[in-house]
Amino acid sequence: MTDSGQQQRATGQLREQEEPSWADARSSVLRGAVVLLAAAAVFGLFIMSMPRLKAHELDALVHNFPPSSLPAVITLRDTLLAYAETYPKTVAMGILLLYSIMQTFAIPGTISLSLLAGALYGSTRGFLLVAAVSTVGACSCYGMSCLLWRPIARALWADRIEGFRSEVAKRRHDLLSYIIFLRVTPMLPNVFINVASPIVGVPLLDFALGTLLGCAPNNFMAAHAGDHLSDLDSFADLYNPRMLLLGLTVGCVALLPVYLKHRHERGRAMAALA
């Protein structure tokens, strides 16, 4: 068989492997549900191992956790503030576990946990906590995509994944800058980036660093807003002009390394031509 024939056969086999299969997707959903139940059990065991809350504190925690509204966040802050001061590592670990589970399984509501982190730990420590847990959660989703989410992603986003694959291939030499750009801008949903990145060949290191730096603006805005809950009337206030300007400033800082790198490379290229 000629080289061209072998190449065509290999391409055909690759396309067959890439074809989205709803049967495989359904199987992945069922296996994912089992993993979710196991993760929920682990989180439940962690909650049971925490130092005991008072009866009214436990009742408030059960009815408002995870928080789905601004009043729920405020109730949790008032309930957990003293507890978090006494057991800061325990509460931080609880936020990490829940945030990771929610991101891994694309469960909405992580913005509420980011607000809660800011409310409990202040703008600076809250931001550092949110930056860490959001990166861990995104990497967890990346890992689950390698194991389970690939058939679901191909069934749901076949064309979009191919477009993303093409863009990644064009920027193979500078993927970190590209991931930072995608995280800072609303070009693609974060869930899609988390799930599709391992499918199209984005290395974990570039993915993790790009997530850490690129998500910094939103994470800082949420933690800062959580530290000033009394100034908010609803989640929509996170996107008022003042908060957007703050996020834009942090976004520019996050993109600064990308700009400096490109400027340095352009200078080297011009020097080589001179």
Portion of the chain with pLDDT greater than 90, in percent: 22
Q: How far is CA 197 from the centre of its chain?
A: 12
Tell me what pLDDT residue 225 has.
83
Q: Residues 12-55: pLDDT tens digits? A: 444 444 555 667 778 888 888 899 999 999 988 888 888 877 77
| One-letter identity of residue 201 | G
Note whether 256 and 213 are within 8 A (CB). no
Q: In 3D, which of 145, 138, 108 has the Cα closest to residue 32?
A: 145
Tell me what pLDDT residue 132 has.
93
Q: Residues 45-89: pLDDT tens digits? A: 888 888 877 777 777 777 777 677 778 888 888 888 888 888 888
In the chain, which residue ranges form alpha helices assigned H by DSSP?
3-18, 22-49, 55-64, 70-86, 88-104, 110-144, 150-170, 175-184, 190-200, 204-214, 216-227, 241-273
Average pLDDT, stretch 117-138?
91
In angstroms, what CA-CA distances link 126 with 109, 121, 152, 163, 229?
Answer: 17, 5, 34, 36, 13
Return d(Cα 113, Cα 104) in angstroms, integer.
15
Q: What does the DSSP 8-state code read for residue 20?
A: -
Q: Residues 154-192: pLDDT tens digits? A: 888 888 999 999 999 988 888 888 898 888 877 788 999
Tell me what pLDDT residue 16 has.
45
CB-based contacts of 100, cutoff 8 Å, min separation 6: 133, 136, 137, 140
